[in-house]
Structure 1
Amino acid sequence: MIDLSPLYALVGQWLPFDCLQARFMQQAFIGLLLLSPMAAVMGIMVVNFRMAFFADAISHSAFAGVALGLLFAVDPNWSMPAFGLLVGLGIMIMQRSSGLSNDTVIGVFFSAMVAFGLAIVSRDRSLARDLQRFLYGDILTISDGQIIFLILLFIVLIGFQIKSYNHLLYIGLNPTLAKAHRIRVALHQYIFTALLSLIVMFAVQAMGVLLVTAMLIVPAAAARNLAGSAGSMFWWALGISLSSSLSGLLLSAQPWARTATGATIILIACGWFLLSLLPAALRRERRE
């Protein structure tokens, strides 16, 4: 495995906070530095495409993925994203092949995954204790292997966004028209779904099932209030997500705070959203 010690050492040198001198804090910092931009980029698409329920369904499939991993003695940190990926692609296949509405398909999968996870846990009550850390999340437990995977996922996502960002916007507005302009709609949708599923699953480990959707939605929603164009919305979402994540990590580690990292990050992001309501209201008044 690649030795990430030099990378962690740079964090301790460049950011001379006492709390960042511990190895697990340096790992958490790098993990959020990779995860936050990906969540921001995908969050824009989730908001624009009205896919919040989809992200919620993927996050709740974490229960089943973790339970299966524990049941078959597979590391839940890897069984969970693998299962989430299968669920995400399954939802997309069902949406494209059935005549049902998107909300109906997602609702069926959502219900099935939660029930499946609870059914597995009910067979072995000892599994419930292990599931709790995924319910609330803990970025401080991120491993070197997960960070390496996040680096690879980050590279793939950046490449996909550079090549397909405009195509995705086009598909979101009108898939039929996009297909008429020779955009490979199905391929873009499947790749986007796969990447979103993996990012959501890794965000579950940082934020927990209860807050993972907020990591995608809140920075993008605040950016939409502040931005005047699609391009500026991208940069606003990126800045809000990064500042919320990194400041949340540092604040939660302070002796006077000692709060859950995921909850602190989301509270700061929600603070950004509240601040963003003022310029949005001023713009509406000017139009009227």
Structure 2
Amino acid sequence: MPDCPPLLAPLLSLFGAVPLDCLQLRFMQQALLGLLLLCPMTAALGVQVVHFRMAFFSDAIGHSAFAGAALGLMLAVDPMLAMPFFGVLVGLAVMAVQRRSALSSDTAIGIVFSAVVAFGLAVVSRAPGMARTVQQFLYGDILTISANELVMLALLGLAALIFQIAGYNRLLLIALNPIMARASGIRVALWQYLFAGLTALVVMFAVRAVGVLLVTALLIVPAAAARHFARTAGGLFWWAQLISVTSGVAGLLLSAQPWLATASGATIILVACLWFALGALLRHDAVE
């Protein structure tokens, strides 16, 4: 693996030792590592997105990937650099509109979402040749993730881990009662902007895995499914982690089987939805 960073080579070799034909392929090993890095982040942030009642937020950020990629192509900038930068700007703009107006979070997100989509379409309309290139972000493809992107994802995962350790309880209190959080000495605005920026970055990588059309599901479905199994706030976090990681791994491996041969992103979300259906069924039986 000459083009693989030294820190990643042992992990990829470990995946190759698994007795599955699909994991003998380099791109499948990189895809699996990418999902193992990405899914814990989307699970943790998905729980907080649900707490903040901002499910539409990830959709707005996901669609900003389309606009960011188009803008990057127009300015001759690598779309993989333009997308995160533009996504963070959109995330911060959503939080700013929400904080500085009397609008509800859904309304604020809807306004920014509309502006982002219209901007992306306007940019693409100026250069119709971009449409085919930008279209790949609609569906995503974790199988094409590069070694450099894995390194970036690992660094983002480290930042997300530090953020969760420092801010999980603070964000939970802010979601429950921002006035009480402010009275407790928590810098509410700072944590909300940090949350928006980090979520935007994670969503940009999630678009790489499942595409704009399914990026919201990658955040929301595991968190929603976890509610069926968890009894505490801490339990909700860990159940979301379990559901997200198992959905990512199982979805990737299933999609690679010749008898199924489906898109990996769609299969990952379908496995997560099966978790949700199982939880709903078990909870219904428990209630009865």
Q: In which range does the TM-score fall when normalised by the shorter chain?
A: over 0.9
CA gap of 1:119–1:200, structure 2 versus 1, over 3 A, is same
Give the equivalent residue in structure 2 for 1:220.
Answer: 223
Q: Deviations over 1:97-128 (max 9, x none)?
A: 22332222211110000011011111111111
Give the equivalent residue in structure 1 for 2:53.
Answer: 50
Give the equivalent residue in structure 1 for 2:260.
Answer: 257
Q: Distance in 2 between matches of 1:50 and 1:9?
A: 41
Give the equivalent residue in structure 2 for 1:10.
Answer: 14
Q: Structure 1: any 5+ residue segments left out of the alignment?
A: none
Give the SS at the match of 1:99: coil
Q: Give TM-score scaled by structure 2 length.
A: 0.95
Give the equivalent residue in structure 1 for 2:154.
Answer: 151
- Give matches, 1:1-288, under 5 Å: 2-3=5-6, 4-13=8-17, 15-285=18-288
Q: Distance in 2 between matches of 1:221 and 1:101?
A: 22
Q: Deviations over 1:28-68 (max 9, x none)?
A: 01100000010111111111211101111111111110101
Q: Structure 2: any 5+ residue segments left out of the alignment?
A: none
What is the CA-CA distance between 1:252 and the residue it aligns to? 0.7
Q: Distance in 1 between matches of 2:98 and 2:221?
A: 26
Q: Percent identity?
A: 62
Q: Deviations over 1:158-209 (max 9, x none)?
A: 1111121111110000111100110111111111111111111110110000
- Between 1:44-53 and 1:209-218, the stretch displaced more is 44-53
Q: Distance in 1 between matches of 2:104 and 2:243?
A: 33
What is the CA-CA distance between 1:150 and the residue it aligns to? 0.9
Which residue type is aligned with residue 203 of structure 2?
A: V
Which residue type is aligned with residue 16 of structure 2?
A: G
Q: Distance in 2 between matches of 1:60 and 1:129?
A: 16
- Between 1:259-268 and 1:67-76, the stretch displaced more is 67-76
Q: Give TM-score scaled by structure 1 length.
A: 0.95
Give the SS at the match of 1:61: helix
Structure 1 segments of 4+ aligned residues over 6 angstroms from their partners: none
